[in-house]
Amino acid sequence: MMYEMMTSNANNIKGIVFDIQKFSVNDGPGIRTTVFLKGCQMKCVWCHNPESLSTKPQLGFNQDKCIGCRSCERVCPNGVHRFDEQGKHSVAFEDCVACGLCVDVCMNDALKIYGISMSVDHVFAEIIKDKVYFDKSGGGVTLSGGEALKQFDFSLALAKKCKQHGIHVCIETNGASKTEYYEEIAPFVDLFLFDYKATGDQLHKTLTGMNRRLVDLNLKRLDDINAAVILRCPVIPGYNGSDEHFKAIAEVSKSMANIRKVELLPYHNLGKGKATEVGRDYTVNTTVPTDDQVNSWLAKLKRYGVVQVALG
């Protein structure tokens, strides 16, 4: 009776989810459903999902889709939508409370709210629909973000529920959550997709806003408790693509027994448009690497002794 009550409470825990992506093939093995949770402790300068950084629901505005009808201006109680004399539309994001009224009246899909509150049961109902694909492909569910462990209670309850139903669970993490969180959730996780973003404490802090110490501690702890890990390494030319960095990736991966593979994530610029949509600055000044560049990185890691290396 007590167990049933605890289970039912856990199923009612709510998380702020900004996307559920089905048939994903880049977030762990097989065909997966990836649940994107809002909130992240880091602020990586190249962030691919800037709409995930805030824990709260937030407004997105796509200027290219706006036809200037001004319906949003008429319904917004906070005066967030502003038009200058030339009719140019600007958005005072800081005054928005994400009530969604303007989204409802925008006929051109120029507005959207990133992040809705969903219960564990609600998200699981979406996940379980695809179990047949998971079973056939060796796939499952991936909790991502943002940082999945920023909403720890929700992620723990969802991971447990998936495991109870025989679903393979991956957690994509920046490595910067509390060590106890990794220890507590590990029994319900088949594979951690663990970021390795920059080498050297100062550079890590400059590029992500946090130093490496806790990340290194958590990676070591996962290894000590025999949790399976894929090391995921974003490579941003001109920021973290130094030889020293590739050497460090190789050394870390060789020093731990449970790192199954290194995956490189070459820079792409999809975060740029999304940053503008949610009113954030995007300062990265680099180019998308060529195939030759990417192949040279893969070859370099192999030369430094990484046996299992691939593109993520």
- What is the x/- site pattern for ligand SF4, positions 17-56, by CB under 6 A? ----------------------------------------
110 binds ligand SF4 (CB under 6 A): yes
Regarding 156 and contact with ligand SF4 (CB under 6 A), the answer is no
Q: Is 256 in the site for ligand SF4 (CB under 6 A)?
A: no
CA distance 45 to 98: 25
Among residues 13, 20, 99, 248, the one that binds ligand SF4 under rule CB under 6 A: 99
Per-residue binding letters, 60-79, with ligand SF4 (x by CB under 6 A): ------xxxxxxx--xx-x-
Show the tokens assigned to 162.
């998936």
Among 13, 101, 217, 256, binds ligand SF4 (CB under 6 A): 101
116 is an interface residue for ligand SF4 by CB under 6 A: no
Q: Does 252 contact ligand SF4 by CB under 6 A?
A: no
Interaction between residue 278 and ligand SF4 (CB under 6 A): no
Q: How far apart are CA 126 and CA 300, in angstroms?
A: 41
Residue placing its CB nearer to ligand SF4 in the complex, 104 or 180 = 104
Give the binding range for ligand SF4 (CB under 6 A) out of 92-100, 129-137, 153-161, 174-182.
92-100
Nearer to ligand SF4, 34 or 58 (CB): 58
Positions touching ligand SF4 (CB under 6 A) are 59, 66-72, 75-76, 78, 80-81, 89, 96-102, 105-106, 108, 110-111
